[in-house]
Chains A and B, each alone.
Chain A
Amino acid sequence: MKLRRNIYAKENMTGYLFILPQMLVFLMFLVYPIFEGIRLSMYRINYQNEKFVGFENYMILFNDPVFFKALINTVVFVVFIVILTVGFALFVASAVFDKNARYVSFIRGSYYIPVMVSMVVMSMVWSFLLNPANGLISYFARDMGLGAINLLGNPKTVMPVIIFVTFATNVGQAIILYIAAMIGVPKDLFEAAEVDGASRWQVIRKILIPSVKPTTVYITIINIIAVLKIFVVIQLLTGGGPNNASVTLMYYLYNNAFKYNQLGVASAVGVIMFVITLLLSVPQLKSMLQDK
Chain B
Amino acid sequence: MIRKRLLMTTAALMVIVSMIAGCAGNNKSGNETASNGGKGGKEKVEITAWLTPQWKGVLDATEQGADYDSFLKHAAEKFVAQYDKYDANVKVEVIAGDQRDQLLNVNLSSNTPPDVFFESVFPMGDYVHRGAIVPLTDIIDDEAKNDIDQSFWEAVTFGEDIYFYPFQHNPGTLVYNADMFRAAGLDNFIGGENEIKTWTMDEYQQILDALKSNLPKDKYPNAYPMALYAVNNQGDTWNLAYLRTFGSPFFDNEGNIVLDDEKGAKAAAWLKKLYDGGYTNPGAESVSSNDANAMFQNQQLGISFTNPILFSNMKTNMENGTSPKFDVRLANIPSESGDPLSFTYVVGASVFQSGNDKKMEVAKDFVKFFSTDPELVKSSKNGIPVRSSVAEELKDENPLFAAYDANSQYLFNFTGNVPGYSQLREVLYPELQALYLGQKTPEQMVKDYQVSGNKVIEQNKAGSVIYNK
Contact = CB atoms under 8 A, between A and B. Distances in A.
Interface in B435-469: 436-437, 439, 456, 459, 462-465
Nearest to B7: A14
A38 to B, nearest CB: 17
22 contacts: A14-B9, A17-B12, A21-B15, A21-B16, A21-B19, A47-B353, A48-B131, A60-B459, A133-B291, A134-B294, A134-B298, A138-B282, A138-B283, A150-B286, A238-B231, A239-B232, A241-B433, A243-B431, A243-B437, A260-B426, A261-B126, A263-B109
B108 A44 contact: no
Q: What 7 pairs across the A-B complex have the smallest Cβ distances? A: A132-B283, A148-B282, A17-B12, A153-B286, A150-B283, A48-B131, A260-B423
B27 interface: no
Contacts of A260: 420, 422-423, 426, 456
Contact of B295 (A133, A241, A258, A262): A133
A105 interface: no
A242 B285 contact: yes
B455 to A, nearest CB: 9
Given A133-B291, A244-B430, A261-B105, A238 B12 contact: no
B105 A258 contact: yes
A129 interface: no
Interface string A155-197: 1000000000000000000000000000000000000000000
Contacts of B19: 21, 24
A17 B131 contact: no
B5 A242 contact: no
A242 B437 contact: yes
Contacts of A153: 283, 285-286, 433, 437
A257 B422 CA distance: 12
Contacts of B102: 258-259
B282 A242 contact: no
Contacts of B105: 257-258, 261
Contacts of B109: 263
A255 interface: yes
Nearest to A20: B16
Nearest to B20: A24
A155 to B, nearest CB: 7
B130 interface: yes
Interface string A208-242: 00000000000000000000000000000011111
A238 B437 CA distance: 15
Contacts of B285: 150, 153, 241-243
A20 B286 contact: no
The SS class assigned to the B binding surface is helix
A155 B462 contact: no
Nearest to A28: B23
Contacts of B129: 46
B8 interface: yes
Given A14-B8, A17-B9, A244-B430, A132 B108 contact: no
Interface of A: 13-14, 17-18, 20-21, 24, 44-48, 60, 66, 131-134, 138-139, 142, 148, 150, 152-155, 238-244, 255, 257-263
Interface of B: 5, 8-9, 12-13, 15-16, 19, 101-102, 105-106, 108-109, 126-127, 129-132, 222, 231-232, 281-283, 285-287, 291-292, 294-295, 298, 300, 353, 420, 422-423, 426, 429-431, 433-434, 436-437, 439, 456, 459, 462-465
Given A17-B12, A134-B294, 6 more contacts: A46-B463, A48-B465, A131-B291, A132-B282, A133-B292, A241-B429
A150 B283 CA distance: 6
Given A47-B108, A241-B429, A258-B101, A131 B286 contact: yes
Most chain-B Cβ atoms within 10 A of its Cβ — which of A13, A24, A133, A154?
A: A133
A242 B286 contact: yes
Contact of B132 (A47, A133, A242, A243): A47
Contact of B287 (A20, A21, A132, A257): A132
A222 to B, nearest CB: 27
Nearest to B19: A21
A283 to B, nearest CB: 35
Nearest to A131: B291
B260 to A, nearest CB: 18
Nearest to A257: B105
A133 B433 contact: no
B8 A243 contact: no
Contact of A243 (B232, B426, B434, B462): B434
B430 A255 contact: no
Given A13-B9, A20-B16, A243-B430, A132 B286 contact: yes
